[in-house]
Amino acid sequence: MAFPLKLEAKMNVSLREVKTRRDLGTFIFLPGKIHANHANWVPPIYMDEWKYFDPKKNKAFSYSDTTMLLAFRGDETVGRVIGIINRRYNELRNEKTARFANLEAREDEEVVRALLSHVEDWARKKGMTRIVGPYGFSDQDPEGFLIEGFENRATIATYYNFEWMPLFVEKQGYEKDVDYFVYKIEVPKEVPEFYRKIYERVMRRSNFEVIEFRKKKELKVWIKPVLHLMNECYSASNIYGYAPLDEEEMGDLAKRYLPVIDPRFVKAVRRGDELVSFIVGIPDMTEGIQKARGRLLPFGFLKILRAAKKTKQLDLLLGAIKEKYRGLGLDVLMGVKMILSAHEAGMDMIDTHHEMESNVKVRAEMEKMGGNLYKRFRVYKKKL
């Protein structure tokens, strides 16, 4: 039964916690109804959504407190949100931070207010002193509302919201916590001269070896080492919102992304037996996901595969360099190989995925490559 709060009674908005499989289905499929005529919105893969929101299949629920809510006006479902307290992250960082994620609503500020107010009250009762969002269980989930670049289609693992959503959130007392920049880089026909010279110098003067892949079976043995390196690097760099993954979570992440990874766009560097850096990209397949309406079966997966083969855009997903090897040109080694592979595959552009505004070194490299800032995402914060 929906239970109205005092605030919602005036607004004729009621909230209900997601407790049943039927409610969870409503929660999962609501964004598709809200964004039905939103040309650049891309549905999730619904098969993955059912696993992600299942506490029995997503281990993050075991070390997180959560509240999942649906909002109603009368009998109509008009919004949803999940509140998260990642206890493992808070203990690691000595914080009392809650998160909100997966916030969706009709263009209705009262609904947004009701959903966020409930999550805030819930978090206060749990002893939290601040809330940030949108931010999921980890930085592997979508993070930050789009605030610039609405004319561009969404990519995998990013939010695509209406322009009014950040404004509604700001009206509830939220302010900027961190911005993420996304660059668009045109794939050059030839490797730029300054990069070619750095590449040749690094290869000549060091014993680094660039690892490339052609088949997924070649890649499988490297998945766990790559994720271990990600754990090490992201923890050491104090990446915003990041908490180390355990073995089971790394296995789940590998299963989640391995089906869509194209081995040609995974580059790694080793020194002897030591893996020291990696970068992962995937062909943009969002047009296929749109045509499949987020459903793999019975023939949706064919539309997605077809889109991945036809696309002219490469989307970067993950990358890391072991701390003691930074500044030695490993980014150039991998970048040159990625450019060559993208050019060979007929790609026209590269989407760099999220780069923190404060990461000026990486951003400078993107701009040196001729990258243009074409999207910006914002994570908000509020004191409780």
At 281-329, the pLDDT tens digits run 999 999 999 999 999 999 999 999 999 999 999 999 889 999 899 889 9
Q: Which amino acid is at 310?
A: K
Range of lowest pLDDT (118-132, 166-180, 210-224)? 210-224
Q: What is the 3-state secondary structure (H, E, C) of 147-208?
A: EECCCCCCCCCCCCCCCHHHHHHHHCCCEEEEEEEEEEEECCCCCCHHHHHHHHHHHHHCCE
User: What's the rounded Cα separation, in Å, for the pair 354 and 376?
Assistant: 8
What are residue 209's DSSP bridge partners?
Answer: 270
- pLDDT score for 182: 95
More confident residue, 361 or 166: 166
Alpha helices in the chain (DSSP H): 6-11, 21-34, 46-52, 87-93, 109-125, 164-171, 193-205, 216-236, 247-257, 286-292, 300-310, 330-344, 360-368
Domain at 6-180: CATH code: 3.40.630.30
Using a pLDDT cut of 70, give the percent of the chain over it: 96
> What is the per-residue pLDDT for 174?
98
Contact 293, 300 (CB under 8 A): yes
Q: How far apart are CA 72 and CA 2, in angstroms?
A: 8
pTM: 0.91
- pLDDT given for residue 338 in this prediction: 93
Q: What pLDDT score was predicted for residue 313?
A: 96
Dihedral sign (CA 195, 200, 204, 207): positive
- Beta pairing class for 355-356 and 145-148: unpaired
Domain 188-347 annotated CATH 3.30.1300.10? no
Pairing of strands 349-351, 355-356: unpaired
pLDDT at 236: 67
Ranges of CATH 3.40.630.30 domains, the chain? 6-180, 188-347
Predicted confidence (pLDDT) at residue 221 exceeds the cutoff of 90: no
Q: Per-residue confidence at 11, pLDDT binned at 50, 70, 90?
A: low
